[in-house]
């Protein structure tokens, strides 16, 4: 087993210190450094000052002074160790999105769920194993809106290297991280949204590898990412949607893709000319550089699923340029732009997201066929009373909220420990940190996708910190039913600590009699984040074989802040290996 060391600092208004250690003889970030096996190199960098869209330079919170942050590359079976030093003025945590964290729940990262935040000037060492996972994942801040700039790729290759891919070995690989950019300070943006009880405004631009591209006003070639290819060679694109609130369509002009993985799980090869990625999701896709030469736009454009139309959003397109090496094309020739789907093209989004299937391989886990617990969970928007700390809230009226089964989630109150600390310490319910009464059904059965005016009386939801306690190793099946109490919208639901199988998806109200015969129990796609269709439903199934406290939430940060979340509590199994270990000595305290 190799050991990957990566020391990172979160920085703003200060210099940062970043050290990379050994991984199979090299260290990898956005800038690549070559080092000896098991050696330790030290990289000292300054603040990341960014000027985009004709705005004055501003300093953002970033890792290693990079946007995106450094990519972490490991092989299946490796142990990854990240020493985090927080030199920013903000509390910070890092979530390793999609990592199971079996035996290492203290490293999962969501603030106040598995750990208290790392305070300014503090530090914490994350240690976890990349076991039984191959493909593209990512890491990001898991507190306030800081993940708008604190994120990066986490690439897990087969233990035997690229020759062990279950698809033709590509000539090269390229990580493509899609994001959103605000001209404002994102921490202040989130704080104002909370204080007023209103959703934060939409982004000023979308980005590809941190750059918006030259289709935006006041943006030029210096703010455009370039990807160079050779004719007739095959490239593995590792596509990550790190945007806070927007699903994205992804295309490359005059090129097509073969999807071979999603959320670090291999898929049956799927041919398409458009990739759809919801926030939190990843897609691995092969692209053949099948042109003789030329310049082509890589484009990321928004999918707005809200009905009726939600708050104004950025109907714009981020671009990068695919350039053929050796081409005699004039470098000043404008690249070819691909036709993009309409912003509300739900048919295209659903076709892509529902058509993927798992690549079944010998010796790999398959979908559990028996079910111990069935849950029917509504997800959607509603209204709540102002919270005491929402100082600018209009207390004569309700404010936007969101919920699962009419329970709008709030993190433990100030002064309380994290939920995992309370769980490990004895009884988090007795300690007043959470209650074990998250319901398996909504409190009322109604027409979930009816016009909002017909269900106005059902919009109210109270705030609470409710968990669903499972038995170790039981199989859970969840129907995730979208509602239209305010508006119907696709919600990317992410589960920490597990992958799940997506058995079926559809529109309208879930009907067990018609949906069950459609369940794919042979090769359903395996995910950690499912985009529940707008005005529809998705059925997922997972095995609760990982003890700890595991967050499940919408990966729209606006909706997470409004309460679209819950927590699964999984008790210890029968052996030390299936039990939550003691907390590490440097675990941050609240």
Same domain as 222, residue 154: no
Share of the chain above pLDDT 90, in %: 74
On average, the pLDDT of the chain sits at 89
DSSP secondary structure code for residue 420 in this structure: H
Same domain as 214, residue 129: no
Residue 27 and residue 311: Cα distance in Å, rounded? 43
pLDDT band at 48 (very low <50, low <70, confident <90, very high): confident
pLDDT in tens, 359-370: 999 888 899 999
Please give the pLDDT value at position 588.
96
Residue 373 and residue 378: Cα distance in Å, rounded? 16
DSSP calls for 27-95? B-SSS-B---TT--EEEEE---EE--TTPPPEE--EETTBSS-PPEEEETT-EEEEEEEEESSS-B-EE
Q: Is the pLDDT assigned to residue 333 strictly greater than 90?
A: no
Q: Taking the model in full, what pTM does it have?
A: 0.92
Indicate left, alpha or beta for 432 from its phi (over 0: left) and psi (-120 to 50: alpha): left
Same domain as 434, residue 342: no
- Two tokens at 390? 């929402």
pLDDT in tens, 101-129: 999 999 999 999 999 999 998 999 999 99
Same domain as 18, residue 149: yes
Q: ω into residue 68 within 30 of 0, thus cis?
A: yes
pLDDT in tens, 127-160: 999 999 999 999 999 998 999 999 999 999 999 8
pLDDT in tens, 301-328: 999 988 765 555 677 999 999 999 988 8
Q: Is the pLDDT assigned to residue 5 strictly greater than 60?
A: no
Same domain as 398, residue 287: no
Going along 265-396, which residue ranges are E strands?
Answer: 265-272, 275-277, 282-288, 295-302, 318-324, 373-384
User: Which of 164, 193, 211 is the endpoint of a domain?
Assistant: 164
Q: Is the pLDDT assigned to residue 395 strictly greater than 80?
A: yes
Mean of the pLDDT values across residues 269-284?
A: 99
The answer to whether position 337 is within a domain reads: yes
Please give the pLDDT value at position 312.
59
Cβ contact 198:390 at 8 Å = no
- Among the residue ranges 80-84, 142-146, 564-568, the one predicted with the least confidence is 80-84
Q: Is the pLDDT assigned to residue 179 strictly greater than 50?
A: yes
Please give the pLDDT value at position 311.
56
The answer to whether position 590 is within a domain reads: no
Please give the pLDDT value at position 47.
58
The answer to whether position 531 is within a domain reads: yes
pLDDT band at 27 (very low <50, low <70, confident <90, very high): very low
Residue 381 and residue 562: Cα distance in Å, rounded? 8
- Two tokens at 461? 């939801």
DSSP calls for 98-146? T---TT-GGGS--BTTTBPPBPTT-EEEEEEE--S--EEEEEEE-STTG
Structural domain harbouring 436: 373-578
Whose CA is closest to 500, among 553, 469, 471, 540? 540
Same domain as 313, residue 232: yes
The answer to whether position 589 is within a domain reads: no
Same domain as 63, residue 210: no
The answer to whether position 13 is within a domain reads: yes
Please give the pLDDT value at position 2.
43
> Phi/psi of residue 50, each to 5°?
-120, 135
The answer to whether position 362 is within a domain reads: no
Mean of the pLDDT values across residues 5-32?
A: 32
Same domain as 12, residue 112: yes
- Among the residue ranges 39-53, 243-257, 563-577, the one predicted with the least confidence is 39-53
Same domain as 144, residue 212: no
Residue 328 and residue 294: Cα distance in Å, rounded? 8
User: Which of 98, 129, 164 is the endpoint of a domain?
Assistant: 164
Query: Pairing between strand 536-544 and 474-482?
Result: antiparallel
Same domain as 208, residue 88: no
DSSP secondary structure code for residue 456 in this structure: G
pLDDT band at 456 (very low <50, low <70, confident <90, very high): confident
Please give the pLDDT value at position 240.
99
The answer to whether position 587 is within a domain reads: no
Please give the pLDDT value at position 16.
26
Please give the pLDDT value at position 219.
82
Q: Is the pLDDT assigned to residue 412 strictly greater than 90?
A: yes
Residue 458 and residue 486: Cα distance in Å, rounded? 10
Please give the pLDDT value at position 365.
84
- Number of structural domains (the chain) is 3
CATH assignment of the domain containing 403: 2.60.40.420
Please give the pLDDT value at position 349.
98
The answer to whether position 383 is within a domain reads: yes
Residue 579 and residue 577: Cα distance in Å, rounded? 6
pLDDT in tens, 211-242: 999 999 888 778 999 999 999 999 999 999 99
The helix/strand count (H/E) of the chain reads as 5, 36
User: Which of 164, 181, 199 is the endpoint of a domain?
Assistant: 164
CB neighbourhood size of 587 (10 A): 18
pLDDT band at 563 (very low <50, low <70, confident <90, very high): very high
Going along 273-398, which residue ranges are E strands?
Answer: 275-277, 282-288, 295-302, 318-324, 373-384
Please give the pLDDT value at position 45.
22
Please give the pLDDT value at position 224.
95
Same domain as 174, residue 138: no
At which residue do the structure tokens 């050696």 appear? 39
Q: What is the dihedral of CA 410, 415, 419, 422, to 10 degrees?
A: -150
Cβ contact 6:20 at 8 Å = yes
> Phi/psi of residue 174, each to 5°?
-140, 130
pLDDT band at 64 (very low <50, low <70, confident <90, very high): confident
Same domain as 537, residue 456: yes
Share of the chain above pLDDT 70, in %: 91
């Amino acid at each position: 087993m190799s050991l990957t060391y990566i020391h990172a600092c979160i920085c703003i208004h200060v210099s940062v210190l970043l050290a990379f250690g050994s991984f199979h003889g090299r260290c990898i970030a956005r800038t690549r450094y070559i080092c000896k096996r098991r050696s330790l190199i030290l990289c000292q960098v300054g603040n990341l000052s960014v000027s985009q869209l004709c705005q004055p330079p501003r300093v953002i919170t970033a890792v290693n002074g990079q946007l995106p942050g450094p990519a972490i590359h490991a092989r299946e079976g490796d142990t990854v160790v990240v020493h985090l030093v927080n030199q920013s003025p903000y509390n910070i945590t890092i979530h390793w999105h999609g990592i199971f964290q079996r035996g290492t729940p203290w490293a999962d990262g969501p603030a106040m769920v598995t750990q208290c935040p790392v305070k300014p000037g503090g530090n914490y060492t994350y240690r976890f194993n990349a076991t039984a996972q191959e493909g593209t994942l990512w890491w990001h801040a898991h507190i306030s809106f800081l993940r708008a700039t604190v994120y990066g790729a986490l690439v897990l290759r087969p233990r035997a290297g690229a020759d062990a891919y279950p698809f033709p070995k590509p000539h090269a690989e390229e990580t493509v991280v899609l994001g959103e950019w605000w001209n404002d300070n994102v921490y202040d943006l989130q704080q104002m949204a909370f204080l007023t009880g209103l959703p934060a405004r939409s982004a000023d631009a979308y980005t590809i590898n941190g750059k918006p591209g030259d289709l935006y006003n006041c943006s030029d070639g210096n703010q455009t990412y370039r990807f160079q290819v050779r004719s007739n060679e095959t490239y593995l694109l590792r596509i990550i949607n790190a945007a806070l609130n927007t699903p994205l369509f992804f295309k490359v002009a005059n090129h097509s893709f073969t999807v071979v993985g999603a959320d670090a799980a291999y898929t049956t090869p799927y041919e398409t000319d458009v990739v759809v990625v919801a926030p939190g999701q990843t897609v691995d896709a092969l692209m053949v550089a099948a042109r003789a030469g030329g310049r082509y736009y890589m484009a990321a454009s928004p999918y707005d699923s809200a009905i009726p139309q939600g708050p104004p959003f950025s109907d714009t397109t981020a671009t990068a340029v695919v350039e053929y090496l050796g081409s005699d094309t004039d470098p000043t020739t404008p690249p070819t732009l691909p036709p993009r789907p309409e912003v509300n093209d739900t048919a295209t989004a659903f076709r892509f997201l529902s058509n993927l299937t798992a690549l079944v391989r010998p010796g790999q886990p398959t979908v559990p066929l028996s079910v111990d617990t069935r849950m029917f969970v509504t997800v959607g928007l509603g209204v709540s009373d102002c919270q005491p700390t929402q100082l600018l809230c209009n207390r004569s009226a309700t404010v936007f909220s969101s919920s699962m089964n009419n329970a709008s989630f709030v993190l433990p109150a100030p002064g309380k420990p994290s939920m995992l600390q309370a769980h490990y310490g004895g009884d988090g319910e007795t300690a007043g940190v959470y209650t074990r009464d998250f319901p398996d059904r909504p409190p009322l059965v109604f027409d979930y996708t009816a016009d909002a005016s017909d269900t106005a009386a059902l919009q109210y939801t109270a705030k609470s910190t409710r968990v669903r306690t499972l038995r170790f190793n039981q199989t859970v099946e969840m129907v995730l039913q979208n509602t239209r109490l305010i508006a119907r919208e696709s919600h990317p639901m992410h589960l920490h600590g597990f992958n799940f199988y997506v058995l079926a998806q559809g529109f309208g109200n879930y009907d067990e009699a018609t949906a069950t015969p459609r369940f794919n129990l042979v090769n359903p796609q395996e995910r950690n984040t499912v985009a529940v269709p707008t005005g529809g439903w998705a059925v997922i199934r997972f095995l609760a074989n990982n003890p700890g406290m595991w967050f499940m939430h919408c990966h729209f940060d606006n909706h997470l802040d409004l309460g679209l979340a819950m927590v699964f509590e999984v008790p210890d199994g029968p052996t030390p290996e299936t039990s939550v270990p003691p907390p590490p000595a440097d675990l941050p305290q609240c």
